[in-house]
Amino acid sequence: MRILIAEDDLTSRNMLAAVLRKAGHEVMETVDGAETWKELQRPDAPRLVILDWMMPGMDGLEVIRQVRAVKTDRPPYLIMLTARGEKADIIAGLDAGANDYLAKPFDVGELRARVEVGRRMVEMQDALCKARDALAHEASHDPLTRIFNRRAVVSVLSRELSRESRQHHGLAAGICDIDHFKKINDTYGHMVGDDVLCAFTRLLRTGLRDYDCLGRIGGEEFLVIAPEVDNDGATNLFERLRMRVANTPISTRAGTVTITVSIGVRIVREGDTIDTVLAAADDALYRAKKGGRNRVCLAL
Ligand code: GH3
Ligand code: MG
Ligand code: MG
Ligand code: MG
């Protein structure tokens, strides 16, 4: 792994670097506290640092304090170098946030072993972060279409509603429901139905602006949140989506399928909440279905 040696003493630095390189690590070197702190602020900073206690400018203890003041889920593992027997230094360093210490002159075997402990800790932390991120992704995304699930898209709606109540830049929400989707399943089977859902999702996504949000709120129902739109803008946006779906044949494992979509749109009004927006859009969707499908209806 990449290890930073922060040590002003040339002999000690060279010895540390030689041992660590021999153990297969990639070694970087700094010679004072300020340079060390600068290195550690880089996004790709090394995750394991061997830090001398006494250095010109900012000392090791100060560097430890600076590093630990930064809130991050991937903090570096810090091994402090102290003169043998400086108990008070060791305690101060550990209290400030060092993970471990090594007394100078160091023992080669001990150095290797302590660095190995650090490497294991860093790897374990990375694995935990990765697992956490994967769980968070799973909790907010629909497994079939890979877009936001109901919970995630509704939370975006909540955020956009509170922004709209302050800024009044215009906000619209549209529920897009595939017409007669059950027929696709009945005719071609569920797998083809799934293909169509994925293709439909891609069609909507490519028809939206970067700052619009799309999520799956039910089987073949999707919610589009479009900020920064006035009435005409919202109508145009959803009408464009409707036409794109109607005019784009979808190729599936059973051949080409054409679908249409009905969309119920609420242009957000003063005092709207998640519930009123969704109920109004749903009501408009119902009218779009009743009116013959393949159409956009605005909430009354
Ligand atoms: P309408 O035009 O009134 O919306 O008719 P519809 O057939 O689209 O609506 P309906 O609510 O009757 O049927 C929706 C169908 O969507 C029923 C259900 O089996 C299917 N469905 C829901 N989730 C999935 C899914 O993940 N994959 C597949 N293949 N089908 C799904
Ligand atoms: Mg020194
Ligand atoms: Mg439907
Ligand atoms: Mg439906």
What's the pLDDT tens digit per position in 52-85?
A: 999 998 889 999 999 999 999 999 999 999 887 7
Atom number of ligand 1 nearest to Cα 182? 7
pTM of the predicted structure, to 2 decimals: 0.82
Residue 206 burial class via C-beta count within 10 angstroms: exposed 0-12, middle 13-18, buried 19 and up: exposed
Pairing of strands 100-104, 77-83: parallel
Pairing of strands 171-178, 221-227: antiparallel
- CA Rg, the chain, in Å? 29
Neighbours of ion ligand 2 (CB under 5 A): 8, 52, 54-55
Indicate which ligand has the atom closest to the C-alpha of 191: 1
Indicate which ligand has the atom closest to the C-alpha of 194: 1
**pLDDT tens-digit map of 34-60:** 999 999 999 999 999 999 999 998 889
| CA–CA gap between residue 28 and residue 16 (Å, rounded) | 11
| Distance from chain centroid for Cα 185 | 34
Amino acid letter, 192: V
98: helix, strand or coil = coil
Atom number of ligand 1 nearest to Cα 178? 8
Q: Which H or E run contains 267? A: strand 261-267
DSSP 43: T
CA-nearest residue, atom 26 of ligand 1: 219
Active site residues: 220
| CA–CA gap between residue 286 and residue 79 (Å, rounded) | 65
Asked whether the beta carbons of 262 and 174 are under 8 A apart, the reply is: no
**pLDDT tens-digit map of 205-252:** 999 999 999 999 999 999 999 999 999 999 999 999 999 999 999 999
Q: Where are the alpha helices (DSSP H) in 108-149?
A: 108-140
